Amino acid sequence: MSFESLGLRAELLRAVTEKGYTTPTPIQTQAIPPVLEGRDLMGGAQTGTGKTAGFTLPLLQRLMESTKTEQGRRPIRALVLTPTRELAAQVEESVVTYGKYLPLRSTVIFGGVKINPQIARLRSGIDILVATPGRLLDHVGQRTVDLSKVEILVLDEADRMLDMGFIRDIRKVLALLPKQKQTLFFSATFSDEIKRLANELLNAPALIEVARHNTAAESVRQVVHPVDNKRKRELLSFLIGSNNWKQVLVFNRTKHGSNRLAEQLNTDGITAAAIHGNKSQGARTKALADFKSGKVRVLVATDIAARGLDIDQLPHVVNFELPNVAEDYVHRIGRTGRAGNAGEAMSLVCVDELKLLKDIERLLKREIPKVVFDDFKPDPSIKAEPINMGRGGKNQGGGRNQGSGRNAGGNRAANDNNRGYTAANKRPGGHGHSRRSAG
């Protein structure tokens, strides 16, 4: 199977070839034809399988086929909704990359940055809008965006949007869209809630699922290193230094813990930066750029980054703390082993987290291999303490008094994170970093 055989336009094939892609992935092979036919679609695939191109390429072609020669301001004809700023930026980058030889215009809007430049771009006229729900509704409230001419709606990472508490915002957006449109629904998992929402939105959709529900990529080698909570940071520094790792993505449950771990790694002589919802968008963009360029060896992230980061050939992911929700483990380690490349995912697990580990292994339907380092053997006399699922906490380690990645950084705060200004800071363009902003 080739991209040519999928029936894509010459301009799109040229852009794909320049990216170095010759053979479509399974999700692209299955998704592109029905989307080109104008069908609704419900697609499920592991992260890193080429899903974004799977909807971006046919979306661009569909818009070219229905291009209207209207006078005046060009209407928004395609809307892509994503849960996080990073994922929104990544999707819009793909739109620009694949559409470089087409006369279509796009932009991305999300919170955490000034709103006025976004308003200027919207007023200049665009065909494709990529947005997070909260900031999109801010524009709706200011009457700077018109969704009445949307022909194609894409909900990307729909399950994550529901997890982050965006269902009400999504329904508000849906009420502003035409009833007649093509809807593409992409999700890493198909929960009952996702299926209910899909049933409301989709009309006789093509159903595509290229990987089993909640499975980890086969190209990712997984291992657990048992270690006492207080020695996790020491073990992490040892692993990075002794193996001379140049690029490591490390997951922590909380914003405070991520900042503290990054500071400690820098003290150890390992360049590190933290990325989470309390950081300004400029700081998040710089941290990610420095990580991709090699200026920073370690990027410490909360779960907000688990699906929004796309880093070519990322070799190593480390779970400094296991997530409170087993499904998030799959999304975290899916940052490596992408597009057929090999990757490693290591989890530093203390006695407090053994139940979380069992939940993950139950989800994966297999045990993860355990490797104990002689110099870091856990003390068997230490008893497990409960992991606090509430807010806050002082200890950055394996779970004592830690906030939940979902509760502390999730539902109630998700809108603040993506909207960019709150009731306490409602000036247009205000950063509005609420104390409740998402992880």
Same domain, 233 and 161: no
Would you say residue 408 has pLDDT above 60? no
Same domain, 197 and 333: no
What's the confidence (pLDDT) of residue 435?
29
Same domain, 250 and 103: no
Give the residue among 200, 150, 207 at the shortest CA–CA distance from 176: 150
CATH code of the domain covering residue 292: 3.40.50.300
Same domain, 289 and 157: no
By CB atoms closer than 10 A (0-12, 13-18, 19+), residue 221 is: middle
Is residue 142 a part of any domain in this protein? yes
- Assign residue 265 a region (left: φ > 0; alpha: ψ between -120 and 50; beta: otherwise): alpha
How far apart CA 347 and CA 349 sit, in angstroms, is 6
In terms of pLDDT, which residue wins out, 261 or 21?
261
The pLDDT-based confidence of 428 (bands split at 50, 70, 90) is very low
What's the confidence (pLDDT) of residue 48?
65
Same domain, 193 and 239: no
Average pLDDT over residues 30-52: 86
pTM of this structure? 0.62
Residue pLDDT, tens place only, 232-257: 999 999 999 999 999 999 999 888 88
Same domain, 153 and 248: no
SS3 labels along 328-370: HHHHHHCCCCHHHCCEEEEEEECHHHHHHHHHHHHHHCCCCCE
Is residue 426 a part of any domain in this protein? no
By CB atoms closer than 10 A (0-12, 13-18, 19+), residue 71 is: exposed
The CB density around residue 13, as the number of other CB atoms within 10 Å, is 17
The domain tally of the chain equals: 2
Range of the domain at 394: 220-408
Q: What are phi and psi of 299, to 5 degrees?
A: -110, 120
Would you say residue 274 has pLDDT above 60? yes
